[in-house]
């Protein structure tokens, strides 16, 4: 069989060593993200451009040949959104690097392939801070964070990626290289097309540069932990903190299944101490921070904590948060995971946690829950059991939890995106008229529908 003519064009456009891969042995590792089950095709090629102009040339060539394009960052996504499609071209951003910091304007211009933690380290050298901190900060890319509108631990106080992106350079699905957004603190010139791109999961174009907003470095945080006998009590404690008017800089929940999985792997001993743990961080300076910490501790106690207290030892506090970050890989050791990502109003958090337990009982499943609880954003990790009906039971629980969240006034995805796993759920959440508007916005960016087909919209 003769080679696809697009391959020769790609090699001309990207002459650098290793910039165009087409042997299955090299392209295989670009086929999937971290989501179990989402369909993944066999790509014609993986390209690794070094400049925005090369990305533009790749997209234009793909458009001429009617070949799909899937942008890819670090492949840490949990919704199958970066999965390859058959015969398509995966555009990896791993060579689109570089961080330029402007300390006066408090912004940085960043290549999409830069890893979140590397950006945070680079700006820290200037006494600055990039707030969005997904638990995957150590390995996910800024381009992926923008395309999924990633959340994280401190979003409860500082907002999500969208709140920190001032502008992007984008190659649209039409093959045009455009700049969206601004560099100024304010700006209302025309429609907010940048807002459409953030969270668009690679369906509108390839982000080739990101301008992010930075903040001054923060004072050290205080940590308050609470141990609970019951998941629902812990949910009540989160609602109580919100009612008390304190805004923690992180408020995370780790349930008994998660604690046991981390213990089995890392022997932290936490599962002997509690059924469910809440971890709060507070970063207001001085006496205000002391008062906030006391209020959170009182809320935990009033909601039924068996123990609550502030940690004065930074290493001990960091160890607790490390245990929280280890939950996903620890639970993954129990079997393939379907990672839920529902988000509900804070007042509905106890009810949603009760529904997670009910779904686990109804379908006879282990569902380990870790949550950015202060945002009402839950990650029930559905462990897919072995056996003939295991996948069907897990899938039924996964769908049911989305319906539960919608019934409680929430959303099917707080931060991971729709990808290829939640397309059906999206049609249950959004009005058909809104879905139609979204499709028409996509068509404006991507007239031939080559960008990441099969993601988000069926």
Ligand X SMILES: Cc1cc2nc3c(=O)[nH]c(=O)nc-3n(C[C@H](O)[C@H](O)[C@H](O)COP(=O)(O)OP(=O)(O)OC[C@H]3O[C@@H](n4cnc5c(N)ncnc54)[C@H](O)[C@@H]3O)c2cc1C
Which residues of this protein are in contact with ligand X, per CB under 6 A?
33-34, 70-78, 81-82, 93, 112, 134-136, 140-141, 143-145, 147-148, 150-152, 201-202, 206-207, 328, 415-416, 452, 455
What's the min distance (Å) between Cβ of 13 and ligand X? 18
Nearer to ligand X, 96 or 128 (CB): 96
Nearer to ligand X, 82 or 317 (CB): 82
Shortest Cβ contact with ligand X: which residue?
A: 144
327 alpha carbon, distance to own chain's centre: 15
Nearer to ligand X, 33 or 429 (CB): 33
The whole-angstrom separation of Cα 318 and Cα 303 is 24
What's the min distance (Å) between Cβ of 387 and ligand X? 26
3-state secondary structure of 407: helix
Nearer to ligand X, 192 or 364 (CB): 192
- Output the CA torsion sign for 65, 71, 74, 76: negative
3-state secondary structure of 39: coil
What's the min distance (Å) between Cβ of 214 and ligand X? 19
The whole-angstrom separation of Cα 112 and Cα 385 is 37
What's the min distance (Å) between Cβ of 67 and ligand X? 15
Nearer to ligand X, 135 or 353 (CB): 135
3-state secondary structure of 274: coil
Write the burial class of residue 25 (CB in 10 Å: 0-12 exposed, 13-18 middle, 19+ buried). Answer: exposed
SS3 per-residue string spanning 122-189 = HHHCCCEECCCCCCCCCCCEHHHHHHHCCCCCCHHHHCCHHHHEEEEEEEECCCCEEEEECCCCCCCC
What's the min distance (Å) between Cβ of 198 and ligand X? 10
Nearer to ligand X, 154 or 293 (CB): 154
Phi/psi class of residue 432: alpha, beta or left (left: φ > 0; alpha: ψ in -120 to 50)?
alpha
Nearer to ligand X, 126 or 179 (CB): 179
What's the min distance (Å) between Cβ of 76 and ligand X? 3
Helices 231-243 and 286-302: crossing angle in degrees, nearest 10, is 140
What's the min distance (Å) between Cβ of 143 and ligand X? 3
């Amino acid at each position: 069989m003769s080679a696809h003519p697009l391959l020769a064009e790609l090699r001309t456009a990207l002459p650098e060593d290793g910039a165009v891969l087409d042997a299955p042995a090299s392209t295989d590792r670009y086929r999937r993200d971290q989501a179990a089950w989402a369909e993944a095709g066999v790509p014609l090629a993986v390209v690794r451009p070094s400049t925005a102009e090369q990305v533009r040339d790749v997209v234009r060539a793909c458009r001429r040949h009617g070949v799909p394009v899937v942008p890819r960052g670090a492949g840490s996504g949990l919704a199958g959104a970066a999965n390859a499609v058959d015969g398509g071209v995966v555009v990896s951003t791993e060579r689109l690097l570089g961080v330029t910091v402007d300390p006066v304007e408090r912004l940085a211009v960043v290549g999409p392939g830069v890893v979140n933690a590397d950006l945070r380290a680079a700006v820290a050298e200037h006494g600055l801070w990039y707030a969005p901190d997904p638990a995957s900060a150590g390995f996910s890319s800024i381009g992926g964070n923008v395309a999924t509108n990633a959340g994280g631990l401190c979003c409860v106080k500082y907002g999500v990626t969208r709140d920190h992106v001032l502008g992007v350079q984008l190659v649209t699905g039409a093959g045009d290289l455009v700049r969206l957004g601004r560099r100024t603190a304010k700006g209302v010139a025309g429609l907010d097309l940048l807002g459409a791109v953030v969270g668009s999961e690679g369906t509108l174009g390839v982000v080739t540069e990101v301008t992010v907003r930075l903040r001054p470095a923060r004072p050290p945080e205080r940590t308050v932990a609470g141990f609970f006998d019951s998941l629902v009590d812990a949910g009540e404690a989160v609602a109580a903190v919100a009612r008390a008017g304190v805004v923690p800089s992180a408020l995370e929940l780790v349930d008994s299944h998660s604690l046991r999985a981390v213990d089995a792997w890392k022997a932290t001993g936490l599962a002997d101490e509690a059924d469910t743990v809440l971890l709060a961080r507070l970063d207001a300076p001085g006496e205000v921070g002391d008062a906030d910490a006391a209020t959170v501790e009182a809320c935990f106690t009033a909601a039924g904590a068996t123990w609550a207290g502030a940690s004065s030892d930074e290493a001990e506090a960091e160890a607790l948060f490390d245990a929280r970050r280890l939950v996903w890989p620890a639970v993954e050791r129990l079997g393939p995971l379907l990672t839920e990502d529902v988000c509900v109003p804070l007042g509905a958090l106890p009810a949603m946690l009760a529904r997670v337990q009910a779904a686990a009982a109804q379908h006879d499943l282990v569902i380990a829950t870790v949550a950015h609880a202060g945002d009402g954003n839950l990650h029930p990790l559905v462990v897919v059991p072995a056996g003939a009906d295991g996948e069907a039971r897990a899938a039924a629980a996964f769908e049911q939890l989305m319906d539960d969240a919608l019934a409680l006034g929430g959303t099917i995805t707080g931060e991971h995106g729709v990808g290829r796993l939640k397309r059906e759920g999206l049609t249950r959440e959004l009005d058909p008229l809104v879905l139609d508007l979204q499709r028409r916005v996509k068509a404006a960016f991507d007239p031939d529908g080559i960008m990441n087909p099969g993601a988000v919209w069926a």
